[in-house]
Amino acid sequence: MTLPSELAGLPAPSIVEEIGYETRLGILRDRLVALFDAAGIDYDVENLETDPAQILLQVSAYQDVLLRQRVNEAIRSTFLAYAVGGDLDVLAQWYDVYRLAGEDDDRLRRRVILAIQGRSPGGTEARYRAVALGADVRVQDAAVYTVGRDPTVRVAVFSNEAGGVASPSLLSAVDGALQAPDVRMVNDLILVASAAQQVVDVVADIWLLPQAPESTIAVAQSAMAAAWSGLSLGRDVTMSWLTAMLQVDGVQRVVVTAPTSDVVMPFDQAAGLGTITLNNRGRAF
């Protein structure tokens, strides 16, 4: 689970109890000794591990820990930072946010935060961004902005498909959601476009370790594609990042030949992934 920045720095809730088996066992043991003392019986429950009283204490301590852990889990499920699955769905519906088909917990949690930030009926950046993300699960991110004194609201959509380039059908879905009468402010002109307007082709020379299988090239290619899908709007694509993503197990050396320098992205754009060409230059050690 990856927490958004708004929740990542929060301290753990104090109502959640720190528990441990040995601690609970010690407390129960002390209580039993106290009961024997009150009855005038001198009894040492630690004399023999096979003593029935000792065994019962261990069973009780284990059950006590399980119960307390379940209480902790129930408490955590009421917090946005910790709720998952159906618990998160219940929390989200309080803010009129509902899980999209195929949407994971991290993405839903991020939309709930945006919905809270954009509680105004419309017009705010957070509100429009929340609506864009809620329009389709294919929307990985969206930037809402204006240019200079032009009041036109521009929404840049970054897709989690096709290397980040938003398809016409995705742009249509986002535009329809933003133009809804209960979303768009009356005097707002909203223009929706793809955020990935610069497609980057990657070419690299790769040397494998002597024992690495040939399939390592395909693994590096898949790793690059997967890492690219995690890029956000405004994120520069640096040469060092490209090299690091291709440096998978079994790869000895990587030399990126295209692009030839860092790709600097504006805040409202994200680089789209073009072709990935990996040239196997043999073995090295």
As a whole number of angstroms, the distance between CA 200 and CA 235 comes to 13
State the pLDDT confidence band at 48, using cuts at 50, 70 and 90. Answer: low
User: Do residues 171 and 145 share a domain?
Assistant: yes
As a whole number of angstroms, the distance between CA 221 and CA 19 comes to 45
Residue that finishes a domain, picked among 176, 194, 212 = 194
pLDDT digits (tens, 9 = 90+) for 22-34: 888 888 888 888 8
pLDDT digits (tens, 9 = 90+) for 199-229: 899 999 999 999 999 999 999 999 999 888 7
User: Do residues 234 and 266 share a domain?
Assistant: yes
281 and 257 Cβ atoms separated by less than 8 Å: no
User: Do residues 168 and 219 share a domain?
Assistant: no
Record the tokens describing residue 266, joined without a space: 């504006």
For residue 33, what pLDDT is reported? Answer: 81
Residue that finishes a domain, picked among 194, 221, 256 = 194
Q: Residue 162 has what DSSP assignment? A: G
97 and 89 Cβ atoms separated by less than 8 Å: no
User: Do residues 215 and 157 share a domain?
Assistant: no
Query: To which H or E segment does residue 191 belong?
Result: strand 190-194
Record the tokens describing residue 134, joined without a space: 């809620």
Across residues 232-255, what is the average pLDDT? 93
Domain count, the chain: 3
Sheet (strand 251-258) strand order: 251-258, 198-208, 271-283
Across residues 168-191, what is the average pLDDT? 94
Closest listed residue to residue 230, CA positions, set 259, 263, 270:
270
For residue 123, what pLDDT is reported? Answer: 79
Q: Residue 236 has what DSSP assignment? A: -
User: Do residues 141 and 234 share a domain?
Assistant: no
Tell me what the pLDDT averaged over the chain comes to: 89
User: Do residues 163 and 210 share a domain?
Assistant: no
- Residue 122 sits in a domain of what CATH number? 3.30.300
Residue that finishes a domain, picked among 169, 194, 219 = 194
Residue 45 has pLDDT above 60, yes or no: no
For residue 46, what pLDDT is reported? Answer: 60
**C-alpha to C-alpha distances, 180 to 119, 184, 193, 206, nearest whole angstrom:** 16, 6, 17, 50
255 and 179 Cβ atoms separated by less than 8 Å: no
205 and 279 Cβ atoms separated by less than 8 Å: yes
As a whole number of angstroms, the distance between CA 128 and CA 106 comes to 19
Across residues 158-180, what is the average pLDDT? 92
User: Do residues 35 and 70 share a domain?
Assistant: yes
Owning domain of residue 102: 85-194
User: Is the pTM here over 0.95, yes or no?
Assistant: no
User: Do residues 268 and 241 share a domain?
Assistant: yes
User: Do residues 10 and 108 share a domain?
Assistant: no
Closest listed residue to residue 150, CA positions, set 189, 193, 194:
189
pLDDT digits (tens, 9 = 90+) for 64-104: 999 999 998 899 899 999 999 999 999 999 999 999 999 99
User: Do residues 96 and 162 share a domain?
Assistant: yes
Amino acid identity for residue 267 in this structure: F
Report phi then psi at 163, rounded to 5: 65, 20
User: Do residues 216 and 183 share a domain?
Assistant: no
User: Do residues 55 and 107 share a domain?
Assistant: no
pLDDT digits (tens, 9 = 90+) for 96-131: 999 999 999 999 999 999 998 887 666 789 999 999
